[in-house]
Amino acid sequence: ARRLVVAVDGPSGSGKSSVCRAAARRLRAAYLDTGAMYRAATWYCLDRGVDLDDEGAVALAVEDLPLSLSTDPDHQTVTVGQADVTEAIREARISERVSAIATNREARALLVAAQRRLVDEAGFVVAEGRDITTVVAPDAQVRVLLTASAEVRLARRGLQMGGTQSTEALQRQVLARDAKDSTAVNFTEAADGVAVLDSSDLTFEETVDALVSRVESVR
Q: Which residues are annotated as a binding site for ATP?
A: 10-18
Closest approach of Cβ 85 to ligand C5P, in Å?
13
Closest approach of Cβ 219 to ligand C5P, in Å?
24
Does 39 bind ligand C5P (CB under 6 A)? Our answer is yes
Give 177 or 214: the residue with its C-beta nearer to ligand C5P: 177
Judged by CB under 6 A, the residue of 5, 12, 44, 199 near ligand C5P is 12
Judged by CB under 6 A, the residue of 6, 29, 35, 157 near ligand C5P is 35
Interactions with ligand C5P, residue window 91-120 (CB under 6 A): 98-99, 102
Judged by CB under 6 A, the residue of 22, 80, 170, 181 near ligand C5P is 181
72 φ/ψ angles, rounded to the nearest 5 degrees: -85, 120
Does 130 bind ligand C5P (CB under 6 A)? Our answer is yes
Does 158 bind ligand C5P (CB under 6 A)? Our answer is no
Does 173 bind ligand C5P (CB under 6 A)? Our answer is no
Cα angle 27, 30, 33 (rounded to 5 degrees) comes to 120
Judged by CB under 6 A, the residue of 155, 184, 191, 202 near ligand C5P is 184
